[in-house]
Amino acid sequence: MEIKVLENANNVPCEVIVVSMFEGEKTSQELANKFALEKDNFEGKFGQTYLLHTLGQSCAEKILVLGLGKRDEFCPDKLREAAAKAVKKLISIKAKNAVFDLDVEAGKQAVTGALIGNYAFDKYKTEKADRLDEVSFARFSQNDIDEAKIFGEALEFARNIANEPAQYATPSKLAELAQSFNGLETRVFERDEIEEMGMNAFLAVGRGSSQPPKFIHMKYTCANPQKKIAVIGKGICFDSGGLDIKPASSMLTMKDDMAGAACVLGVMSVLYKLNPQAEVHGIIAACENMPGDKAYKPGDILTAKNGKTIEIDNTDAEGRLTLADALCYANELGADEIIDIATLTGACCVALGSAAAGIMGNDEEFIQRLIETAGENGERLWQLPLYKEYKESLKSSVADMKNTGSRFGGASTAGVFLQEFIKDVKWAHIDIAGTAFLEKPEKEFIAGSTGAGVRTLLGYIALDREE
């Protein structure tokens, strides 16, 4: 979809002009006020729309009034959701272009909402979904719109690759994509090189699959980087559970177990357009967790890159094993800050649902900054604890630790497991198991991948903030 900026919406010929209306207030269009308000008692409740044919009395063929609800309950997140609703309404009336003349601030969220609302994953459909071709925005700044477009591009990329079936989005495919991006130096390590680096935990997970594992390292840099950030995405291209195989219903969405990797790919793909003043490392240990004849087994003892040994208690707790080696790798790069993002635990889903992703880490100030950044960019993070008590259940009688512990507090138990592979660096772990993939449409999103984490990480890495 093409996005344009208009100085103002006066006398611009178009198919549809979209105007905003707070509950009980008026719109900027006299004609709409006359019909929607005076004749039809349109209330302008949040998300309600009212469509009016102008029959030649305006340069817009139609006016769409978009209800924003009560003015004192309004916020940018609501605008994003409303803008997506407006786009869906426009698509349903087969419109192809529209002018948005919304009498509010928060342009970035309006544009983001429009982009999210226009998204469909129809690559494999013979009959393609209807979409808008062009949207123009009046009243918003060029800068807000440009930023929203770049964030939208990263988001769409991440959603597309996470929505792809596992037969397409293989570790090799992720590696190929990583190598196709502008402005990055990318290296892909093959199985023998991964072995040489001592990543036996990662390798073990991938052994039951016929798809070869790929360790992907993308690097962005600039003239005077102010710091070194590493972002690591869980890249399990399919999680069958391995020999501790999942029941059919739990396996159904496991093509999406690389949503963390998809997020990192999306973020890295647009950095050259945002020019952050940092060195940014995007890292993905990509493989499939399958129960083939070479698969790792319960009871196996693995040695991770940092020398720590892990007894396999359950082969379905594979993400933390691949992340363990990736965290060691990022640590050895000398990063100042490490953020990992992963569809890691069903327990996080149980705790938070799709309303927020879980965040844990070893630096309170760092965590708070990430939580704030998420909020400013249309996402939610909720902190979960890393109390030392959670380590108890990971105790092993034959190795340094087990890969799973108690079912209770599972998101935090996974967190303290990961912490064993972190040394002297600020680290945050984001569990997106509940937010990465929706079974049914929610707010501005259709069912499927949401691109969880993309806006938070991009906001954190690339936007100027006062600290």
Catalytic residues: 246, 320
Q: How many CA atoms lie within 13 A of 363 on its CB side?
A: 15
Q: Shortest distance, CB of residue 399 to ligand BES, whole angstroms? A: 16
268 binds ligand BES (CB under 6 A): no
316 belongs to the binding site for Mn ion (CB under 5 A): yes
What are the tokens at 185?
A: 């130096």
Report helix, strand and coil shares of the chain as percent, to nearest 5. Answer: 35, 25, 40
Specify whether the CB–CB gap between 295 and 243 falls below 8 A. yes
Structure-token match 């935990």, residue found: 201
What residues form DSSP beta bridges with 135?
3, 98
Nearest approach, Cβ of 185 to Mn ion (angstroms)? 32
Output the CA angle 57-58-63, nearest 5 degrees. 110
Strand order in the sheet with 309-311: 301-303, 309-311, 401-402
Q: Which tokens is 287 given?
A: 């493989």
- Judged by CB, which is closer to Mn ion: 279, or 316? 316
**Helices 107-117 and 76-92, packing angle to 10 deg:** 40
Residue 392: strand pairing partners: none
User: How many whole angstroms separate alpha carbon 183 and alpha carbon 273?
Assistant: 9
- Examine residue 147 and tell whether it contacts Mn ion (CB under 5 A): no
Q: Does 438 bind ligand BES (CB under 6 A)?
A: no
Token representation of residue 71: 């003015």
Helices (H), 197-295: 200-206, 248-251, 259-274
Is 239 one of the binding residues for Mn ion (CB under 5 A)?
yes
Judged by CB, which is closer to Zn ion: 229, or 436? 436
* Residue whose C-beta lies closest to ligand BES: 346
Q: Does residue 258 touch ligand BES according to CB under 6 A?
A: no
Q: Which is nearer to ligand BES, 33 or 404 (CB)?
A: 404
Cβ-contact 435, 358 below 8 angstroms: no
Query: Which is closer to Mn ion, CB of 118 or CB of 322?
Result: 322
Q: Min. distance of Cβ 153 from Zn ion in angstroms?
A: 27
Nearer to Zn ion, 316 or 444 (CB): 316
User: Shortest gap between Cβ of 255 and ligand BES (angstroms)?
Assistant: 11
| C-beta of 160 vs 449, nearer to Mn ion | 449
Give DSSP secondary structure letters for 93-113.
Answer: TT--EEEEE--SS-HHHHHHH
In this structure, are residues 444 and 382 in contact, taking their beta carbons and an 8 Å threshold?
Answer: no
Nearest distance, CB of residue 243 and ligand BES, angstroms:
12
**Angle, CA of 313, 316 and 318, to the nearest 5°:** 90
String of contacts with ligand BES for each residue 364-403, x by CB under 6 A = ----------------------------------------
Q: Which does 156 bind (CB under 5 to 8 A by kind): Mn ion, ligand BES, Zn ion, none?
A: none
Q: Which stretch binds ligand BES (CB under 6 A): 13-21, 48-56, 63-71, 342-350?
A: 342-350
Residue with tokens 């003043």: 277
Tell me: does residue 203 bind ligand BES (CB under 6 A). no
Minimum CB distance to Zn ion, residue 233 (Å): 12
* CB of 17 or CB of 258, closer to Zn ion: 258
| Out of 404, 412, 449, 450, the residue judged to bind ligand BES by CB under 6 A | 404
Length of the chain: 467
Q: Check residue 164 for interaction with Mn ion (CB under 5 A).
A: no
Specify the stretch interacting with ligand BES by CB under 6 A; choose among 45-53, 142-150, 317-325, 380-388. Answer: 317-325
Q: How far apart are CA 13 and CA 465, in angstroms?
A: 39
Whether 22 contacts 71, CB under 8 Å: yes
Question: Which two tokens mark 336?
Answer: 């100042």
Q: Which contacts of 436-441 are long-range, i.e. CB under 8 A and separated by 24 or more positions?
A: 436/162, 436/256, 436/259, 436/260, 436/343, 437/162, 437/253, 437/256, 437/259, 437/343, 438/354, 439/253
Q: What, of Zn ion, ligand BES, Mn ion, none, does residue 345 touch, CB below 5 to 8 Å by kind?
A: ligand BES
Which of 52, 236 has the CB closer to Zn ion? 236
Is residue 311 close enough to count as binding ligand BES by CB under 6 A?
Answer: no
Nearest-approach distance from CB 166 to ligand BES, in angstroms: 13
Judged by CB under 6 A, which stretch of 144-152, 168-176, 316-324, 375-383 contacts ligand BES? 316-324
Q: Locate 322 and state its tokens.
A: 């691949």
Q: Which does 177 bind (CB under 5 to 8 A by kind): ligand BES, Zn ion, Mn ion, none?
A: none
- Residue (69 or 241) nearer to Mn ion, CB: 241
- Does 317 bind ligand BES (CB under 6 A)? Our answer is yes
Q: What is the DSSP letter of 446?
A: P
Pick the stretch among 101-109, 193-201, 316-324, 433-441 that binds Mn ion (CB under 5 A). Answer: 316-324
314 lies in the binding site for ligand BES (CB under 6 A): yes
Interacting residues toward Mn ion by CB under 5 A: 239, 316, 318
Interacting residues with ligand BES (CB under 6 A): 239, 257, 314, 316-319, 343-347, 349, 404, 410, 433
